Amino acid sequence: MGSSPISLLFQVKRLEPDLVTPASPTPCEQKILSEIDNQEALRIQAPFIWSYTSNPSSKEIDPVQVIRNALSRSLVYYYPLAGRVREGPNKKLMVDCNGEGVLFIEAEADVTLEQLGGTLQPPCPLLEDFLYDVPGTNDIVGTPLLIVQVTRLKCGGFIFAMRLNHTMFDAVGLAQFLNAVGEIARGAHAPSIPPIWEREILNARELPQVTYMHHEYGDENESQAGSVIVSMDQPDLIQRCFYFSPKGIKSARKHLPPNLSNTCSTFELITGCLWKCRTIALAMNPNEAVRVSLVVNARGKRNNLNVPLGFYGNAIGFPSVVSTAELLCNSPLEYAVQLVREAKNKMNEDYIKSVVDLLALRGWPPLTLAGNNFILSDNTRTGVGEVDFGWGKPIIAGPAKSVNLISFYVRDTNQEKDYGILVPMCLPFWCMEKFEQELKRITIEPVEVISKQDSNTCLDA
């Protein structure tokens, strides 16, 4: 039975979790994870959620069985996902490809998508209803790499939710895998994009060379003492989700000079707004360093990394820039936006190779919290919103909640071209109101607070 923290009352009936294994025999071998995969920031369990409406042409077809069967067949091609992560010498991670399988949960809920409304948007207060936290599966090492729950709804729609071991893939890699499941669910015999494991391109060079200043990991001897936010477990942290409407985004552009307003991306604009308002709200020492780190995809011609089509591992970096609190707070918005653009433009082949070498030399350190590091991930264009199991594209698609103090952007709807953006933010309770005030001032059009969760439970990985 599921319980909801909102006024909507409904029941979720689940069958016992069981293992879905590859539909045919797969290689028994060990595969080494890359330096990028190994880093502390990715040793987490990340929850995602999708919602689908009923499809008249699929009325007699059971989504649970369709997805279960397609998942089993897809694991033949993506067989490392049916294995288990192990620790090797010096805690280097590897995958034991043993075909044990992924956890699958069949469920039913006596509620409709219409009744659920916006409760599936991040931070989803119903996550425990639609993605069972199976006891004993939270460790990164030795547990199933995927947990899937498919929940039928009484309207004929369904919820597809998944928790993934982030060491295995990033959001783009996840989208590739789930689109393969979708293709097979719709009748394909094999994925249209053959998966590629080879991760040598993201391993350290024979003679490691750290050629960039990597503010995202901080100095090796750097203390976290200057950070107002010192850990996920900090008791005064709260999470609120902010909605940037298309109109509000246009209004924020009015604070920029025309040349920048016409060329900066929505991601650069919103990130600059959030970073500036966050720093003002934290009331930091004027001379203290503040930094922003962006989750940037290393794929594509623009970054010249030559990641092959079909690669589904982590191919991301966290390029960062630093300012003083005084400069960021007192300068026009364009200063913050330009710095965000500078961080984003760092991503190229030389930069990611420098990251890989640093991770190898320092033993895969965590992202620093010094300088109140603000970490942002854009999930609006990763491909997770394209997953079609035979019921069309999802209505809601993306991360279900913040993990490890990383804020992320998701679309308010997957059906509209001119979409708004949802952003969960984690801050100490004593400065959240000031943050809201600054954000509303800078965007002119009020940025709506669509959810409040005044506890640190939202930060559990």
Conformation bin of residue 444: beta by default, left when phi > 0, alpha when psi is -120 to 50:
left
User: Is the pLDDT reported for residue 320 higher than 80?
Assistant: yes
In angstroms, rounded to a whole number, what is the distance separating the alpha carbons of residues 75 and 81? 7
pLDDT tens digits, one per residue of 49-108: 999 999 877 778 999 999 999 999 999 999 999 999 999 988 899 999 999 999 999 999
Name the one residue in this structure whose structure tokens are 């620790």: 87
In angstroms, rounded to a whole number, what is the distance separating the alpha carbons of residues 374 and 369? 8
User: Is the pLDDT reported for residue 236 higher than 90?
Assistant: no
User: Is the pLDDT reported for residue 436 higher than 60?
Assistant: yes
DSSP strands (E only) in 53-193: 84-87, 93-97, 102-109, 146-153, 158-165
In angstroms, rounded to a whole number, what is the distance separating the alpha carbons of residues 278 and 427? 8
Predicted confidence at residue 164, as pLDDT, reads: 97
Predicted confidence at residue 238, as pLDDT, reads: 83
Helix, strand or coil, per DSSP, at residue 14:
strand
Domain 237-380+402-459 superfamily per CATH? Chloramphenicol acetyltransferase-like domain (3.30.559.10)
Average pLDDT along the chain: 88
Predicted confidence at residue 413, as pLDDT, reads: 77
Sheet with 29-32: list strands edge to edge. 29-32, 93-97, 84-87
Give domain 12-200's CATH number out of 3.30.590.20, 3.30.559.10, 3.30.300.130, 1.10.760.10: 3.30.559.10
Predicted confidence at residue 302, as pLDDT, reads: 67
Measure CA of the first residue to CA of the last residue in the chain; give whole Å.
23
Report the amino acid identity of residue 302. Answer: R
Predicted confidence at residue 446, as pLDDT, reads: 56
Predicted confidence at residue 3, as pLDDT, reads: 40
The encoded tokens of residue 47 equal 């929850």
- Least confident piece of the model among 67-81, 125-139, 212-226, 317-331: 212-226
The whole model's pTM is what? 0.91
Higher pLDDT, 460 or 162: 162
Query: Where does 78-166 have alpha helices with state H?
Result: 113-116, 127-130
pLDDT tens digits, one per residue of 356-403: 999 999 999 989 887 788 999 999 889 999 999 999 999 989 998 877
The encoded tokens of residue 401 equal 């909640």
Confidence class for position 335, pLDDT limits 50, 70, 90: very high
Mean pLDDT of 126-145: 96
Predicted confidence at residue 456, as pLDDT, reads: 36
pLDDT tens digits, one per residue of 164-178: 999 999 999 999 999
The answer to whether the 12-200 and 237-380+402-459 domains have the same CATH topology is yes
User: Domain-by-domain residue ranges, the chain?
Assistant: 12-200, 237-380+402-459
